[in-house]
Homo-oligomer: A and B are copies of this chain.
Amino acid sequence: MKNGKSDRRSFLTAGAGAAIGALAAPAIAKAQTGLNWRMVTSWPRNSPGPGWTAQRLADKITRMSGGELTVTLHAAGEMVPPLEVFDAVGQGTADMAHTASLFWSGKAPAAALFTAGPFGLTAVEHNAWIYHGGGQALWDRLYEPFGIKPLMAGNTGMQMGGWFKKEINSLDDLVGLKQRMPGLGGAILSKLGGTPVTLPPGEIFGALQSGLVDGTEFLGPWSDSAFGFYRVAPYYYWPGYHEPNGTGECLINAERFAALPENLKEIVTTACAAENSISLAESEWHNAEALKKLVEERGVKLRAWPEDILAAAREAAGEVLDELAAKDALSGEIVASFRAARDQAESWGRVGYESFYKARGAA
């Protein structure tokens, strides 16, 4: 490991015995001491969606290992600030983190694609790319210089296009529009003539209310409802072409991961894989529930993106990916692999899924 400490004793704690005692006693005699890992996150404690995933991940690893590996969660700011968890894991201050790869684009340009790419992959297609299409190996190479092992852990599912104070009827209406839109989506918006603004979640509602921004993207109906955007920006656009999924990221100090016994390695990777079904299902359940409530009880006006905006955004997304691919050799490899996965997924998505949603919905 290049950036980390290698003192394994630092994460072997004397107090682990008590933690083991608190768990239900396995039938078979267990070791009396265990590892104690600190997991930092980029989310407030117990925040719905990613915050729940992080806590389940810590709890599952602890319970499955019967106390061999106790993971204690430190939410955003409790040990390190939310956007310093990457460095904390690389340097070994924390053993692992739950976060999202799009935050690390400044360190590794292609990192954002491991959260989602514009006009890219749905959650299940993203899992297919990472697990079965070569994505994991590229992600490992991207973070290897930082001494970090990444794993997918949870997914917030399909996103919406965002909230707007006024109706958007054509590409012309986007010109000059100020929208909270970070990352690759923001780069696309710039190409369309809009003005992307970066704002932390807690400041979006006020910025919409004061007119500092005209619109905002965020996540899906579930998370968006909690922020009350509908009260000041009632037009809710779909689809969320800029981020068709929201892959959660588990970061592990690479040296400490490599030093784990095989059973604990399998426990950590399997706990992450389990979140990729449990948390995605959770987001989908609550998104579906929240969308109905927004429309039926909150008077939200659902609007499809006009076709000229979608066409221009598709073209702009291609340019954004080209620019990303040109940054360095590994970025180029990652963009090529991502595009191949998307191209392969496209026909099956239309034939298998688009047609089913349409047939079911016509009832």
Chain A interface (Cβ < 8 Å from any Cβ of B): 23-31, 33-34, 60, 63-66, 68, 119-120, 122-125, 127-133, 157-158, 160, 220-221, 238-241, 244, 260-264, 266-267, 270-271, 273-274, 276-278, 280-282, 284-289, 291-292, 295, 302, 304-305, 310-311, 314, 342, 344-363
Query: Chain B contacts of A124 at CB under 8 A?
Result: 123-124, 157, 280-281, 284
Q: Tell me whether A282 and B348 are in contact (CB under 8 A).
A: no
Q: Tell me whether B273 and A64 are in contact (CB under 8 A).
A: no
Q: Tell me whether A239 and B270 are in contact (CB under 8 A).
A: no
Q: Tell me whether B355 and A304 are in contact (CB under 8 A).
A: yes
Q: Tell me whether A280 and B281 are in contact (CB under 8 A).
A: no
Q: Tell me whether A60 and B352 are in contact (CB under 8 A).
A: no
CB distance from A337 to the nearest CB of B (A): 13
CB distance from A293 to the nearest CB of B (A): 10
User: How many copies of this chain sit in the oligomeric assembly?
Assistant: 2
Chain A contact surface mostly: helix
Q: Tell me whether B291 and A348 are in contact (CB under 8 A).
A: yes
Q: Which of A289, A314, A363 has the largest count of B CB atoms less than 10 A from its CB?
A: A363
Q: Tell me whether B65 and A263 are in contact (CB under 8 A).
A: yes
Query: Chain B contacts of A359 at CB under 8 A?
Result: 119, 239, 241, 305, 310, 314
Given the interface pairs A128-B285, A282-B128, the reply to whether A349 lies near B363 with Cβ below 8 Å is no
- Closest B residue to A304 by CB, please name it: B355
CB distance from A224 to the nearest CB of B (A): 12
